Amino acid sequence: MDKRGDDLDRAILNRLQGGFPVCDRPFARAARELGTDEATLIRRIGRLLAEGTLTRFGPMYDVEKMGGAFTLCAMRVPCRDFERVAALVNAHPEVAHNYEREHAYNMWFVIAAASPQAVAGTIRAIEEETGLPVLELPRFEEYFIDLRLSA
């Protein structure tokens, strides 16, 4: 019954990237719109999370509107040092995500913290620990953000 990658999975992925209801029985309501039932929807989302098709399920917060601060950072990390530096950077809980990219600037991470001071402190700590300068590229303006991929 719970086949992998079938039509219901696709419908869940395509239609539940936002708009999850805020009510007593949100899964029941969302399930009705997807033509399924509450228990099936809960089970499917659980499985999609467990197998790694989903990274998260819940509210997506806007750090800045919450009163926090964040910034994008880039570093040029020598290849031989890459794993060590990645571990040092990732050890900071303020580092929300971190990507390796194909470029001289090969490490790109986002720092999110309660205040601009905390962000600056994390950057200083990373520079001291790694001995590498951090290129700080805060967002000046947001033209668009809506990551909704179709399955």
Partner 1 sequence: MNDLDERIVRATQAGLALVPEPYREVARALGVGPVLVMERIRGMLADGRIRRIGLVPNHYRLGYTANGMSVWDVDDDALARLGPAVGALPFVSHCYRRPRRLPEWPYNLFAMVHGRSRPEVEEKLAKIRELLGGACRGRDVLYSRRILKKTGLRLA
**Nearer Cβ to partner 1 (24/131):** 24
Residue 35 as a binder of partner 1 (CB under 8 A): the answer is no
By CB atoms closer than 10 A (0-12, 13-18, 19+), residue 28 is: middle
Angle at 67 between CA 93 and CA 113, to 5 degrees: 15
Residue 18 as a binder of partner 1 (CB under 8 A): the answer is yes
Residue 127 as a binder of partner 1 (CB under 8 A): the answer is no
Residue 1 as a binder of partner 1 (CB under 8 A): the answer is no
Q: Kindly state the smallest distance separating residue 78's Cβ from partner 1, in Å.
A: 16
Q: Of these, 20, 36, 40, 121, which contacts partner 1 (CB under 8 A)?
A: 20
94-127 core/surface letters (b: 16 or more CB in 10 A; e: else)? bbeebeeeeeeebbbbbbbbeeeeebeebbeebe
User: Under 8 Å CB-to-CB from 94, ≥6 apart: which residues?
Assistant: 111, 112, 113, 118, 119, 122
Residue 61 as a binder of partner 1 (CB under 8 A): the answer is yes
Q: Of these, 99, 115, 128, 129, which contacts partner 1 (CB under 8 A)?
A: 99
Residues that bind partner 1 in the complex, under the rule CB under 8 A: 12-13, 16-20, 22-28, 38, 42, 45-46, 48-49, 51-62, 65-67, 72, 74, 86, 89-90, 95-103, 105-109, 135-149, 151
